[in-house]
Chain A
């Protein structure tokens, strides 16, 4: 995620250089996407003969519903807000959508990555402001780009263990404003000044001041363990799997085109309008901009210059946004008269080398979660993978399709297998919809749940990579209609 700081400047570049071609894009027929609409229709008519993943003696856990604020490019309509404002909007939206009585909620968990220091437990501040009971505890988790996945699975744990029946999980990220600190030397001087008792002591501390104390300290741009930015790592990853610039641009174009189509067809039903104080009501994501391959080819590489392949156009952009889902024990949901959207089934966290395999989490997590659930790739009707970079998605696909990689790095006899592209991120992904680090996980789960309802499948697979070389995957099962 961290690469995105650097992309602030790139973003403006993109805006200038990728003219809004939405009208044109509507008519645009994508090359790599041969006939997805027909296939979707076919999937919907599939007969449902698969088993359910209910486990004996373990409570069934359901997602009643979920919402998100529109995801906006950083520095646009949300730029004057604070993170808890966005989180509050998601919570209010969820209350409105589900009409859940506030006092029924046992617990609230939010994920976030770049913490606003004033609201380090942003879950609590947002919940209080959204009018939840002050008797409902709330905590905040962080796990890079899979922070809200962690929020949801924490909720699953609380419900499965019988501690709670109703939990709200969500995530928030506001990249329009980030905590920029004084330098360590300056902070030390300020703290020492605080402790100094006499004028002489104070003067002696001030006398040590140097101009370089004033240079600010930004949140880490690069992976702490390797000092490499994520975009740089993604570029190397793409090169390691021999993925061309064209392939990456084509995939990014696919993401934008599908997102545009989904938006136009009103499929992104998890989005709730947000009246931003002092501004107009925001109703939809604003980062979806299908362009043309020619336009995209003009961009210069963003990280490995001058010959790299990762550009602003085939990377996810800095995004502001928040999401929230209502998770319940099935019997509680039914008792309250809800018709849940999906079950949350097996999930898996993985981690690997943060240098050379930083973004390969989905490759490792996918086979493990499938095996755990007793499913195969063929059983999955809907794939929702987090798209950090086109190159990252394509590298994961190639890794899953490689016997050599499976044998040498995953300790498997044979390859994981390739998710069919016609079932893959059909309503766009992080590249086009945006990627507010802490909030993406809930979006993935809701996209999977909504797609299962719409397209008629039974199982969805959600997977994501995260900084630190970590990864996550979860099985989402459609709730019987």
Chain B
């Protein structure tokens, strides 16, 4: 999610720099009497330009809170009533952040949709006054300008943004299940055109400054500055302010007009959109696309289209009214609560609660240059981490190096990296076939095949070379870390780091600690993971840890459902329509049938009856026929290079037919099939919390959503139980228990929650 990314990037700034800014402000102001009376905003006048500076205290970001709102109103009223002032500049002195959005706590504390609607209407009123200001207001944007921040900016008469990587403009509300509630649904389409506005509001994507300039979202760009006689960040904000002041003056003197020349394409588009028939067709197209992508599980995107449509077809009064009302409604939906919960969870999982490690990892070594190993290397070198990539043969190593290069080069093609940056990053990677240089490694991550003996060998070989402080991390999806650590001379330095494939795309990292793992080792692993850009859950060691353990009973159910005669295509559509991003049968193919079998077999032994369901024989027969999934070209489906539509593998029919199970009609409706899958998943997740594998429900939700694709609209298994009701889930489980026995027995913690409706995982 964009908002969280922007927030995360703020960490590197120190408070002292912010204070430094203040000193400058005081010196340069002709009048600063108001300085001490407000907490979020200080304001002064330079010549005839009012400079309004936002900097919320004790926070890394500025958010549009009630207090900020009222202080801003107060200041604007002064600006409007002062005869001395002819224009204004609105700027944030907080490094890397203009305004990151509305204050979510303010929304969460509302209990009715009316309250939320009222908040929206107040903001609408303020921004309307701002929009109609006769004294031009220039928004000077440095850093994240998201949600309400963007709505504020687009209500101003002019926008100037720094061309910094941290400057991102966007409307990420849809990702929280709501819509922009302070006028963006009405202003954005007029400003950037309907297609671009829909794209921004429906995807929530963040827009970099240079693209924003091209779109007409900002009017001028300011380049970030290097060092001068003060820190670059500080001087850049100062410079932005200076430039904004000259433009504010120019606007007041009418030397600059805020209107922008529209290109030919834009003119044609706006002409086409003036024809009602064309407009209807476009709404229809967009709605169709949204319906297809959301499968009706997310109400916000369709509502956004509705609200935009209302504004355009019925005028802005109706549009604003619709916006505020819909905003109130959406904020009260389960989907929105689930998504906001996930957002908070994600923010938590981007912090290192184990503190800073004693020694920061500077030299990393990855053993095994396969898909996972090379992926881990890629997300390390592109963050400037020196990384050795070791394999045993030159072809295997070469393949891994090529994977890293391709990963970086794809970014060059997308123009998010320059070729020079790519080369500099790639030079952080050293490929080799031996353990040379491991004596300087601060952390070794092994990503060799899932074979305990092999892992033992690698551990012993590495420990013969690495220094005492070096952490040994194992990337495995199911082998217990404790067992891997049995051959270690220093088990306190052994830890599990379970990455998800493809490593450069999947955000989750599951870190597994054994009883012997030291706190500093954990801190070190979390630190590396955070630097690699991951959201991190830390779980206790045990068969399948958390993620694999939750997935396995669900997969067992997948096989049983297939054996009961539901076709893979049908099953896929049942799972995706429930909100899973990938269908269940496809998931087996993608992950690899051999891997699935390996995990099912191992965990089946450990957990016995509860993990039973489909027969392992299905997977074994598939393996014997070479149907390993996507990697072998055949699984439940047939995969061909360059062919987009995949066909069913007809050879599977005979396997499934020979292992057919009788289906039980009273638990085999479409809905039952969906719930059989989900409840087994959820029950196991809650059992993990009960047994202490999970430390917090938030980590359980983040792990399930970001690692396994649990439907985000449900917010993860724990949010799901809270929002859907524990009793209803227990009822479901009991129903399936009668058909399939122990596999569906609800765990104690879940039963406790069902018995006491006040008990919630999230209070």
Q: Do A and B come from one complex?
A: yes
Contact of B220 with A356 in the complex, beta carbons under 8 Å: no
Contact of B246 with A307 in the complex, beta carbons under 8 Å: yes
Contact of A236 with B223 in the complex, beta carbons under 8 Å: yes
Contact of B420 with A242 in the complex, beta carbons under 8 Å: no
Please tell me which stretch of B150-158, B198-206, B226-234 contacts chain A, meaning at least 4 of its Cβ atoms lie within 8 angstroms of it.
Answer: B226-234
Contact of A405 with B227 in the complex, beta carbons under 8 Å: yes
CA–CA, A30 and B487, complex, Å: 82
Chain A residue nearest to B226 (CB atoms) is A356
Instruction: Give the number of chain A interface residues (Cβ < 8 Å).
Output: 26
CB distance from A142 to the nearest CB of B (A): 19
Q: Is A226's beta carbon under 8 Å from chain B? A: yes
Q: Is B273's beta carbon under 8 Å from chain A? A: no
Contact of A409 with B227 in the complex, beta carbons under 8 Å: yes
Q: Is B112's beta carbon under 8 Å from chain A? A: no
Q: Mark B414-440, 1 if CB is under 8 A from A, else 0.
A: 000010100000000000000000000
CB distance from A221 to the nearest CB of B (A): 15
In B210-252, the 8 Å CB interface with A consists of 220, 223, 225-232, 235, 238-239, 243, 246-247
Q: Is A240's beta carbon under 8 Å from chain B? A: yes
B230: chain A residues at CB < 8 Å are 404
Contact of A242 with B227 in the complex, beta carbons under 8 Å: no
Contact of A236 with B229 in the complex, beta carbons under 8 Å: no
In A399-454, the 8 Å CB interface with B consists of 399, 402, 404-405, 408-409
Contact of B227 with A357 in the complex, beta carbons under 8 Å: yes
Q: Mark A240-252, 1 if CB is under 8 A from B, else 0.
A: 1110000000000
Contact of B226 with A236 in the complex, beta carbons under 8 Å: yes
CA–CA, A441 and B157, complex, Å: 50
Q: Is A225's beta carbon under 8 Å from chain B? A: yes
CA–CA, A404 and B234, complex, Å: 13
Chain A residue nearest to B424 (CB atoms) is A225
Q: Which of B229, B243, B247, B418 contacts A402 (CB 8 A)?
A: B229
Q: Mark A86-115, 1 if CB is under 8 A from B, else 0.
A: 000000000000000000000000000000
Contact of B227 with A408 in the complex, beta carbons under 8 Å: yes
Chain B residue nearest to A402 (CB atoms) is B229
A239: chain B residues at CB < 8 Å are 223, 225, 228, 235, 239
Chain B residue nearest to A241 (CB atoms) is B228
A357-B226 contact given A225-B420, A226-B420, CB 8 Å threshold: yes
Q: Which of B223, B229, B246, B418 contacts A405 (CB 8 A)?
A: B229
Interface centre among B227, B239, B247 (most CB of A within 10 A): B227
Chain A residue nearest to B243 (CB atoms) is A307
Q: Mark A220-237, 1 if CB is under 8 A from B, else 0.
A: 000011110000100111
Interface centre among A226, A235, A239, A241 (most CB of B within 10 A): A239
Q: Which of B223, B418, B420 contacts A304 (CB 8 A)?
A: B223
Contact of A232 with B223 in the complex, beta carbons under 8 Å: yes
CB distance from A389 to the nearest CB of B (A): 15
In A354-378, the 8 Å CB interface with B consists of 355-357
Contact of B226 with A405 in the complex, beta carbons under 8 Å: no
Contact of A240 with B420 in the complex, beta carbons under 8 Å: no
CB distance from B416 to the nearest CB of A (A): 14
Contact of A240 with B227 in the complex, beta carbons under 8 Å: yes
CA–CA, A395 and B226, complex, Å: 12
CA–CA, A224 and B424, complex, Å: 13
Q: Mark A114-146, 1 if CB is under 8 A from B, else 0.
A: 000000000000000000000000000000000
Of the four ranges (under 10, 10 to 19, 20 to 34, 35 or more), the interface on chain B belongs to 10 to 19
Contact of A405 with B220 in the complex, beta carbons under 8 Å: no
B228: chain A residues at CB < 8 Å are 239-242, 395, 398-399, 405
Counted as pairs of residues, one from A and one from B, with CB atoms less than 8 Å apart, the total is: 58
CA–CA, A241 and B229, complex, Å: 6
Contact of A236 with B243 in the complex, beta carbons under 8 Å: no
A307: chain B residues at CB < 8 Å are 220, 243, 246-247
B225: chain A residues at CB < 8 Å are 236, 239-240, 356
Q: Which of B220, B235, B243, B246 contacts A240 (CB 8 A)?
A: B235
CA–CA, A236 and B230, complex, Å: 14
In B236-277, the 8 Å CB interface with A consists of 238-239, 243, 246-247
B418: chain A residues at CB < 8 Å are 226-227
Chain A residue nearest to B224 (CB atoms) is A236
Q: Mark A55-89, 1 if CB is under 8 A from B, else 0.
A: 00000000000000000000000000000000000
Contact of B226 with A237 in the complex, beta carbons under 8 Å: yes
CB distance from A236 to the nearest CB of B (A): 5
Chain B residue nearest to A223 (CB atoms) is B420
CA–CA, A225 and B420, complex, Å: 6
CB distance from B220 to the nearest CB of A (A): 7
A232: chain B residues at CB < 8 Å are 223
Q: Which of A224, A226, A227, A356 contacts B227 (CB 8 A)?
A: A356
Chain B residue nearest to A401 (CB atoms) is B229
A356: chain B residues at CB < 8 Å are 225-227, 232
A237: chain B residues at CB < 8 Å are 226
Contact of A242 with B235 in the complex, beta carbons under 8 Å: yes
Chain B residue nearest to A226 (CB atoms) is B420
B232: chain A residues at CB < 8 Å are 240, 356
A226: chain B residues at CB < 8 Å are 418, 420
CA–CA, A353 and B227, complex, Å: 11
A353: chain B residues at CB < 8 Å are 226
Q: Mark B447-467, 1 if CB is under 8 A from A, else 0.
A: 000000000000000000000
Chain A residue nearest to B238 (CB atoms) is A242
CA–CA, A408 and B230, complex, Å: 9
A225: chain B residues at CB < 8 Å are 420
Chain A residue nearest to B420 (CB atoms) is A225
Q: Mark A288-320, 1 if CB is under 8 A from B, else 0.
A: 000000000000000010010000000000000
Q: Which of A224, A355, A404 contacts B226 (CB 8 A)?
A: A355
CA–CA, A236 and B239, complex, Å: 10
CA–CA, A304 and B225, complex, Å: 13
A408: chain B residues at CB < 8 Å are 227, 231
CA–CA, A236 and B238, complex, Å: 13
A227: chain B residues at CB < 8 Å are 418, 420
CA–CA, A304 and B246, complex, Å: 15
A404: chain B residues at CB < 8 Å are 229-230
CB distance from B226 to the nearest CB of A (A): 2
CA–CA, A242 and B24, complex, Å: 13
CB distance from A370 to the nearest CB of B (A): 21
A241: chain B residues at CB < 8 Å are 228-229
B227: chain A residues at CB < 8 Å are 240, 356-357, 405, 408-409
CA–CA, A405 and B246, complex, Å: 28
CA–CA, A226 and B223, complex, Å: 13
Chain B residue nearest to A358 (CB atoms) is B226
Chain B residue nearest to A355 (CB atoms) is B226
CA–CA, A10 and B238, complex, Å: 30
Q: List 18 A-B contacts (CB under 8 A).
A: A224-B420, A226-B420, A236-B226, A237-B226, A239-B223, A240-B225, A307-B220, A307-B243, A307-B246, A307-B247, A355-B226, A356-B225, A356-B227, A357-B227, A398-B228, A398-B229, A404-B229, A405-B229
**Given A227-B420, A240-B235, A353-B226; 16 other pairs, CB 8 A cutoff:** A224-B420, A226-B418, A239-B223, A239-B225, A239-B228, A240-B228, A240-B239, A242-B235, A242-B238, A304-B223, A307-B220, A395-B228, A398-B229, A404-B229, A404-B230, A408-B231
Instruction: Give residues in A with beta carbon < 8 Å to B.
Output: 224-227, 232, 235-237, 239-242, 304, 307, 353, 355-357, 395, 398-399, 402, 404-405, 408-409
| Leading 5 A-B pairs by shortest Cβ distance | A356-B226, A240-B228, A240-B225, A241-B228, A402-B229
